[in-house]
Amino acid sequence: MVDTLAVNELPIVGGDLALDFANTHSGPPGGLPDVESLVSYEDLVAWALRVGVVAPAEAQELVRQARRRPADADAAFEQAVALRDLIFTIFVSIAADAEPSAEALARLRDDEAEALAQATLTASPIGFAWTWPRRNDLDRPRWPIVHAAATLLTEGRLERVKACGGCRYLFLDETKNGSRRWCSMADCGTRAKMRRFVARRSAARSRAT
């Protein structure tokens, strides 16, 4: 059974756009995902708005376009979900100190080529950046995510990509000594502490008897 977690309740703990996108589908570590936050194209837009991939006006236009063109919206949503699976596959391998498959890397390369073909280089106060100006294109939320994944893979500190010890979330460990084990101490970290506490108390009772 797959539970649903609303986009506005989803923890944003990955430290990178691509990893946060992978984390929209989660579950137990090493197991099958059983928590889903993206069940429709409108959920995808809501997530993209929440993390700053699209602006409010863009989000409104994308939702309007999706309602006018539901078949195209479904196709765009399926591509986004496939991208999410690809990102997870690549970076969970990296978190385990394994090399991603050549097939997965080739797919990301092709997706990045498509994303950059739709992009424009725009000046900003700190230099130039890729932007995606086609606000009514239903694939618009996907392209910055693809680019984030390719940039993390080629320029990021991959030794800092970690998998949570309590769930399937991926994150960038930005602690000074690289010792982070949990997606969040308030969630998985606290549950792990409670499990250890219960185990110690149970062991103490067993010794006492």
> What pLDDT was estimated at residue 185?
56
Confirm whether 66 is domain-assigned. yes
Quick: pLDDT tens for 90-121.
999 999 999 999 999 999 999 999 999 999 99
Q: Mean pLDDT score of the chain, rounded to an integer?
A: 89
Provide the number of structural domains found in the chain. 1
Question: Domain holding 19: CATH number?
Answer: 1.10.3300
30: left (phi over 0), alpha (psi -120 to 50) or beta: left
Q: What is the band of 57 on the pLDDT scale with cuts at 50, 70, 90?
A: very high
Please answer whether residues 153 and 164 qualify as being in contact, where contact means their C-beta atoms are separated by less than 8 angstroms.
no
Confirm whether 197 is domain-assigned. no
Beta strands in the chain (DSSP E): 3-4, 25-26, 35-36, 120-124, 127-131, 161-163, 170-172
